[in-house]
Structures are given as C-alpha cells and as structure tokens.
Chains A and B, each alone.
Chain A
Amino acid sequence: MPEKNDKKGWKGKKVKKGTMSAILRYILRYWYYLAATVLLAAVTVVLTLYVPVLVGDAVDCIVGKGAVDFAALAKILRNIAVCVGGTFLSQWLMSLSNNRITYNVVRDIRAQAIRKIQVLPLSYIDNRPYGEVVNNVVSDVEQFADGLLLGFTQLFTGVATILGTLVMMFLLHWQLALVVLCVTPLSVFMAKFISGHTYSMFRAQSEVRGEQTAFIDEMLGALPTVQAYSHEDENLEKFDEINGRLSKASLSAIFYSSLTNPGTRFINAVVYALLALFGAFTVISTGGAFSVGTLTKFLAYSNQYTKPFNEITEVITEFQNALACASRVFELLSEAEEKSDAGNVELGHAEGNISLQDVSFSYTPDKKLIEGLNLNVVKGKRVAIVGPTGCGKTTLINLLMRFYDVCGGAICVEGRDVRALTRHSLRKNYGMVLQETWLKSGTIRENLCMGMPEAGEEEMIAAAKAAKAHGFISRLPQGYDTCIGEDGGSLSQGQKQLLCIARIMLLLPPMLILDEATSSIDTRTELKIQDAFAALMQGRTSFIVAHRLSTIKNADVILVMKSGSIVEQGTHEELLKAKGFYAELYNSQFR
C-alpha cells in the first residue's frame, strides 16, 4: 500500500530511543501470550514449510501413465491434510494470541494516558491544541496497535519463514539454494531504492497538501465573510494554483511508489526462471536423483521465500510509523506532572477567609504578569475584579483554584498555604462559573448534579428554578433527561450559561468564583436571576469578574487591574471619587 507512505511514512525516521524498551515493558506484562505467539509461530512455519515437501513427494509418486504409486500417495495426502489442519489451528491461535497482546497493551497505554491527563499541569493543556493530545491518545495509539499487530503477525512468521525456507533449500540442494540466496536481495534493494526516491516526492506532496488544507480550512471556515466580500473568484484562482501543484506532486509520488510491486514481482519472476533453468539442468544431469518433485519443492519454496521479503519491507515502514506514533504517546506519558498532593492536609469546610501575600506569577519566565499582589478577603465579602481584556483577571482565578501555582508569595485559605492542602479539598470549597461554559455530553440531569451526584430530584429542580433554567429545560423533549451533545450541543450560549449557574446553585460552596458568569445571558434574564445570585452570594466569599459595571457595583471591594497589577482598589463610590482608571471606564459607557 504505497498510499500509506504518503501520510506518515517518513515520520518513522525519527524514533526516540527508549521507545522500544518502553514498549517491551508493556508487552512483557503479557509474557504468557508472547510465549504462546512465539511457539505457535514456530509450529506454523514448520508446518507450512513441510507441506511443499509433501507436495513434492506426492508429485514424485505421479510419474507417468501406469506409474503412479497410489499407496504412497494416499499416505502423503493424509499427511498433508494433517499438516494443513495443524497449520489452520496454530495460525488462528497465534492470531488470537497476537490480538490479546496488542489490545491489552493498547488498553494499558490508554489507561495510563487518561490518568496522566488528570495530573498534567494546566500549563501543558492550555498551551497545546486539544486536537494534538486527542490525536496522541486515540489515533497515535491506534496506529501503534496496527503496526504492532502487523509486526507480530508478519515479522515473526516472515523472518522464521525466510530462515526456514533457506535451511530447507540448502538441505535439498545447496547450489540451487545459493542461486536463490544471491538473487532475492535484489528485490529488497529495489524496494528500498524506490522508497528512498519516493520519500522526497511524498514529502513534497504532503507539504502542498498541508498548504491546501490550511487554505480550505481558512476559507470554508469563514464562508460568510468570503461571500459578504464576494471574494469567491479570487479564492478559486488561488485554489486552482495550489491544486495544480498538488496534482503534479501527487502524480509523481503515486506513480513512482506504485512501481515497487511490479518491480519486485519481476525480480521474483527472474528467480523463478533461474530456478526452473538450473533445476531442470540438475534433474537432467543427475538423471533423476534430483527429482521433479524436488524441483516442485524448490519452486514452492522460492515463492514462499520471496513473499515475506515484500511483506517485510511493508511491515518495516508500518512498524517505523508505529514506533513514531508510540514515541509521541510515550512523550505525553513522560511529561512532568503537577506537584503531587502527597503529604498535604485536607482543608475541610472552609469559612471563606482568603489572603494573598505578595503573590507574583507569570506564565512564561520572560514575561512578568502579576507582581507583589496583596489582598485580604474575609468571610462573606464580595470582591469584584475589573479591567480591560488581558489584564490578568482570569489568571487570578487560575491561582485561586490552584490550576496554576504562584511563582512567589503565597495564597492562604483560612490561614493555610493552599500548596499545603490537597487540591480536592480546596476546590470542593469553591463554586466556579466561567465565561466559557462547558458541559459534558450526557443528560441535563448529569450535568446539573455534577458536583453532587446524590442530589434529589427536588433539590435539583429548585436549583434549576433559581437559575431560571427550569423553564427551558422543561420545554426540551425529554426534560431533565434530554441528552446534550459534546459541549452543550444544540443549546444556546445563554442556556448553557444558565445550566452552569444552576450547577453551582445546587452545590452552595463557601466560596464563589464568577468569571463573566452572565456574559451570554441577555440583560433581562440576567435581571431575573439576580435575586438568586444575591441570595447565593449571601454569606459567601465571592470573586466576580464582569464587563458590565452595573453587576459589580455592589461589591465590597473592587480590584481594578491593568496589565497584571492592581492599579486601584476600593468601593464603587471611593473609586469614582478618585477619578482614576475605574472612573474613566465607568463613565465611558454613558458618553
């Protein structure tokens, strides 16, 4: 399958050291299956090699008219039947055993990966396209499985077959065996030669293809804009240009790579012809000591001998690719993890006293973000954070939830450094509603009860009612049992946000984080859930990020942030009087 190269063939070149040993460690857990595979492979090869011997003997029994040894023939045919039956069994059992190893290993790796994802630092997840990690865990592992399976089934038996046939041929007639031995590597060389040359062609094709996909991705993703600006013709022109180049590159890549099979077939044909020639000469010159039956065996062996060569070149490409995939997976598995919670204490139920002491933080060392941040929030206070986009509001939330650890200073809850607490016990004390609403695929009920699976029907409905979500939920086809797709599926942004709010209403944790929690809800609905919000915040420490200044006016303290630091701090009235940055922001909406 030359087409395979085109996608990932050359990636196989770079395989990290240690990948092999890591794979072996996984495989050796299933050593009993591995042992069975090796044993069965040996049995299979021996039996398949013995069959041509028997067929050759049988041909020798059929010399000519009236010269057929039926008694011997019957015995031989019975032996063939036994061998074939045995081959059938051992081959199938070997496949089963291979499947077991492969699928177990793959399951283990995936299980490891999902566990890893749970403890990866958020900086890792935030800085990588999701698709890449998903690809690692799903497609790469799948590719690896394919390669592994193919490797097991073909590499073992292939190598064994080559060795076995060689031994058999040398036993039968070493001179003829030498002929075969000398010529067959030609086909391997040729396959290598062709793939070496097509490598660069596939690379070129893949580059143009990547360019085209990027263009398609960009333009089809923005069709409304394209049409609004009547840019279709220009796009088509550009597309044609790329398409033309792609076509050229594909043609040469596909054509040249498709020469491998005819080429190796030709060389095999040459081997076959040479065998027929020398074999026939040998039969004639030995006067029958080297029989036609032996020649039959030879011809059969030469076929069996050359076949694995073709397959093995294919297997090696596939296997290299599998190794490359595996190394990407193992790279993920060996990523640094978050600092472990081991030895940390449980927070228990917090009151809601939080203090930030000289906190500094940055995502990248060379770009400082938050520096020398001090803040003391006592139980039940409402803290609003305002400021332009990118000023560090969300970062502050990341730190409070301990999604990221501070670089300097400390954040304390109830006087205890959060880094000395277990993450779970800390996070259980927070209720969080983010601007980016996220729901899991499942029923509405599952989503609402995410924080409290044991919640009863009434509690859940009460929470939904408080969040003004009950109305639209009950209008859905299956009410609370309606399944929503990945990330909320068909729900509107506003509805999703209401669900996220209801999720928190059910939980009633001592501390709240509301990051633009109502940004997608229109202001009328927002007004309607305001009372519920007010009740929710009563007696709870809350951090509120919002664009709409009206929603944060009643905060006990407003932090005005600008490029990472708090530039102003105080109540609404105090800040307006100060006529600073906050006053400027506030007034701009009435201009």
Chain B
Amino acid sequence: MKKVFSYLSGYKKESILSPLFKLLEACFELAVPLVVASIVDRGIGQGDRGYVLGMFFVLIALGAVGLAASITAQYFAAKAAVGYSCRLRRSLFEKMQFLSFAEIDSLGAATMIARMTVDVNQVQTGINMTLRLLLRSPFIVFGAMIMAFTVDWQAGIVFAVVIPVLAGVVALIMGVTIPMYKKTQARQDGLLLSVRENLTGVRVLRAFCKEGEEIARFDAKNAALKKSQNIVGAVSSLMNPLTYAVVNAGIIVLLYVGAVRVDAGSLTQGEVLALYNYMSQILVELIKLANLIITVTKSLACARRIERVFALDNPLERIGDGAVYTENAVDFENVSFSYNGGGNALEDISFSVKKGETVGIIGGTGAGKSSLVNLIGHFYDATAGRVLVNGVDVKAQDPAALREKIGMVLQKAVLFKGTVRENLLWGNEDATDEELLRAVALAQATDVVEAKGGLDGEIEQNGRNLSGGQRQRLSIARALVRRPEILVLDDSASALDYATDAALRHAIASLPDKPTTFIVSQRTSSLQHADKIVVLDEGKAVGIGTHEELLEYCEVYREIYGSQFKEATHA
C-alpha cells in the first residue's frame, strides 16, 4: 500500500503536528483529576478558599489551552486529509484514463467509479480520524494508568489489570462481530439483488406470473437477514454493558485498595477521588478507540482496493522499429490476439488495405470483429504478428499521434454533457462551424442537430436526450470532423434504418479525400460494395475478397448472405 499512502508525503508537517497537538490536549485533560484532588486535599482539607479559587482558574486555563490545542490539531488533520485525498483522486483519475482497453475491460466502469468516489472518501475519513484519535485515545488510556502509578503503585496495578481486560473484551467482541457483519452485508446484497431484479425484470416476471414466488423468495431472504442482524446485534450490544461492568468492577477494587492505603496513611481522600476519575476517563476513550479501529479497518480495505488499481501495469507494448515496410494504409500480418491470456479472439489474420479503400468486416456475434478494428488504433496489443498503419508497426508509433489519424466510431455511441458543438469538437478542436456542419450533413445528422436547436443545442449526460440512432449519427459526425485518414465504423449503423445506413455509406464514398474505411457489420447489405470483405468466424478469417468472390467460394459468407437475402431475392 506504499503508493496509496505516498500522497501523504506532501503533508508531513500536518501529519506530525496534528497528533502532537492532540497529545497536548490529552495531557491537559489528564491533569484535571490531579487538580481536583488537590482542591479536595489542600483547598477543602485546609479550608483555603484562595487556593480553591486559584485551582479553579487553573482548571479553566487547562480547558482553554486544551481547546486551542485541539482546534489546531483538527485544522492540521483536516488539511492533511483533504489535501491528501485531493492528490490521490487526481492521480487515480490520471491512472485510470491511461489504462489500456484490456484493463478497462477487466475492471469495469462501475468499479472504477466506486474506487474514485466511495473508496477515496473512506480513506480520507480514515486518515482524518487516525490523525485525530490514534495517538490520543491510547495516550489517555495509558496516561491514566501511568498517572495512577504515580499516585499510588498499588492502585496502579488495578489499572494495569483493568486495561488489558477491557482491551480483551473490546477485541473479542469486535473479532466476533466483524466477520458476522460481513455475512449480514452479503445477505443485504442478496436482498438488493432481489429488489433490482424485480424492477429490471418486471415485464418478464409479470408475464410469467411470478409475483407470488418472488415475494416468497424475498421473504425468505428478508427473514434470514433479520436473523443474522439479531445475532450480530446481540453480540455487539454486549460491548457497552460489559465494558461498563468491567470498569465498575475496577472501581470497586480501587475503592477497597484505596481505603486500605488511606487507612494506612499512604494515600489521601482526594487522591482516591483522582484515581476514580482516571478510571472513568478510560472507559470513554476505549470506546472511541474501538470505533476508530472499525473506521481504520474499513479505510484500509478501501486503500487496498485503490492500491490494486495503481498496481495495474500492463501498458501497451512499445518498440523502436519505426521502419516503413509497405505503402498500404493498413496491413495485418499474421495477427493473433487474445484477451487477458484467454483463448484466441483472433487467429492468424493477414490482409492489406490500400489508401482510400473500403473494407467490410462481417461475422457472427463473438467472431472477433471489434477486436480486429481495435487493433488498428493500438488499443490492444496483438499477441502475435503485427499491425502496420501507413507501413509502420503501430507499436512503434506514438499512440496519441496514431489515434489522431483515425476516426473511431465505437459500437456503443457515447456523447457527453455539453453542447452539440463541444461534442463535435472532440474530433478536432480547431474545426470551424462550417466544417462541423459539413460533417453533420455527411453523417446524415442534420435533422438531429436541427431538432436540438443547432450547434448550441444541449446534450445531456451520456447523450440520454437522444435516441440510439441519433447518438450514432452524431458520433459518426464527430469522427468525420477530424477528416480522418482511417475511418472505423464499428457496427455503428446498427440502430439506423436501411435507408439512412445506405445514404451514409454513399456520402462517405463520395468524399474527395475519401478515408480508408473499415465497416464492421452483421448486415451483408452494408458491406457488399466494399473493395474487400473480411469474413470472420470464431476468430479466424474464413474468407477475404469482394462480395462476388466470397459468394462464390466462402461457405460462411454465403450462409450469412442467404439468411438475410435468400427470400428477398426471390421477391
């Protein structure tokens, strides 16, 4: 967990001063019983009102100085914790942005967001609390014991027995309940799943008339949760009564020992009072300490999870070989690829694409179509063979510069909160409005932009005020804005109807500086005019050629085509 806590290093001063000032406060607090003892023994014993008044001011002064020390400590603790979490969050965000696609796939967006928010906040709370309490509470507990020893060693022994017993009780209860809480938490997650399913699957569940059954399932889970809550509750609610009992047992013994010592003349009445006060202080601080331990345990778990994100380290491979091997726009040379060391998603793919050509990629679900086009922009490393763009191995090119040349339209069209213009400018920051509108027209999205009120129209988060088809057309426009050398349309016309899909293809094909275009699709109609079609089946290229060639010799292509056109062509 080195990395996670290294961000604290900028706050060394605060991290040291805060606990120190807390200690100071604790010292003043520990002095109080002694002052009270002297009030009893000297002030009352000798009837000295002046002395009592003096001690009164000492008490007030102790409180005031303690307050000042405490405020200083709180400030430093807050500053360190907040500053720390600010830096941690920033570098975590930076780290996540530069994760490779493979890592993003394995982490998942929901997890990443949870790490950035819930976990970082918990670590911040943990640090804040630790700085404030970790030294203070044990200090008061042990300080009280030491003070007791200085007052009277025999009374001190009572403390030396009570404290470990208390600590043992607290540790035992926590040791028993923490795993039990985990189990209740799991039961609660089960309940959550149940509720979620009843909402997400409401149509299916109602269609199958499963309402009664779902209620019964839920009730069973609910009862199980209640049972484990009751059990863990019974154990954890022993904490207060038990510690109370232990401390008071200590007080009984203390009073007796005190009585014997006073009788023998080696202790005063006021000192007995002081010992009694120390014992009471221990109880309060020990409970605080127990709570702190729970907070710290939680924070450490969060820190560990964050650390695992920092530890992710399989960046994209880079090589130095910048030689230009071919004049083609894109070459695949015996390329194989697998996700995270699993089975091959692509196997031994070879083909070349000249500048300005259109390539179709077709195949069933899971055939490896997306994986193939993602290799062009070096979003993944090819596990064998090499991918060349403009004749140079992608592994030898700067990723940002490489991707600058490519207009990617991903399967899942994503837009961002902001105006239509802001979204389109992602493609090219320097584009003029005229250029933006031209790209929009090319992408058959003029009606979408107009419906939103022009380029200044607002798009909501994730583009949720647009339909799937509208999002796709805008994201195509965004890709066209950068006038890419290579345009990749990853199944990006799936939500478009046939007419729009066709119009889009014609528009792109008629561009003067026509980009090299990759079209991934399940529809043969979208691809049949391509210069070259790559037919994928379970990761293997089972056919590469034109529509006509493939119809002739590629069995899989014929089947796909037949399934979509057989009946149609007879009509």
List residues of A whose CB falls within 8 A of some B CB.
3, 51, 55, 58-59, 61-68, 70, 73, 77, 80-81, 84-85, 87-89, 91-92, 95-96, 98-100, 103-104, 106-107, 110-111, 113-115, 117-119, 122, 125, 130, 133-134, 137-138, 142, 209, 212-214, 216-232, 235-236, 239-240, 243-244, 246-247, 250-251, 254-255, 258-259, 261-263, 265-266, 269-270, 272-274, 276-277, 280-281, 283-284, 292, 295-296, 299-300, 303, 388-390, 401, 403, 423-424, 427-428, 430, 432, 434, 438, 440-441, 450-451, 486-487, 492-494, 520-527, 547-550, 553, 572, 576, 584-585, 588-591
Contact = CB atoms under 8 A, between A and B. Distances in A.
B502 A588 contact: yes
A283 B39 CA distance: 11
Interface stretch (B223-231, B319-327, B439-447, B448-456): B223-231
B46 to A, nearest CB: 9
A280 B244 contact: no
Nearest to A120: B202
B113 A220 contact: yes
Given A269-B59, A280-B44, A522-B522, A220 B560 contact: no
B94 interface: yes
B198 A114 contact: yes
A585 B568 CA distance: 13
B245 A85 contact: yes
Nearest to B61: A273
A137 B97 contact: no
A450 B208 contact: yes
Contacts of B113: 213, 216-217, 220-221
Interface string B467-493: 111000001001000000000000000
Contacts of B259: 58, 61-62, 68, 70, 73
A389 B222 contact: no
Given A51-B248, A65-B264, A134-B195, A272 B59 contact: yes
A160 B112 CA distance: 48
B101 interface: yes
B38 to A, nearest CB: 10
Q: Max chain B CB contacts within 10 Å: which of A440, A521, A585?
A: A440
A438 B202 CA distance: 9
B210 interface: yes
B181 interface: no
B32 interface: yes
B96 interface: yes
Given A68-B262, A218-B462, A527-B562, A251 B498 contact: no
Contacts of B248: 51, 80, 84, 87
Given A110-B191, A216-B117, A277 B70 contact: no
B18 to A, nearest CB: 11
Nearest to A213: B117
B499 A280 contact: no
B358 interface: no
Contact of B410 (A70, A99, A224, A292): A224
B426 A231 contact: yes
Contacts of B202: 117, 122, 125
A175 to B, nearest CB: 16
A225 B497 contact: no
Given A114-B215, A134-B196, A218-B417, A64 B262 contact: yes
Contact of A522 (B93, B210, B222, B560): B560
A526 B117 contact: no
B414 A225 contact: yes
A542 to B, nearest CB: 15
Contacts of A219: 97, 416
Contacts of A487: 200
B3 interface: no
Nearest to A390: B467
A363 to B, nearest CB: 15
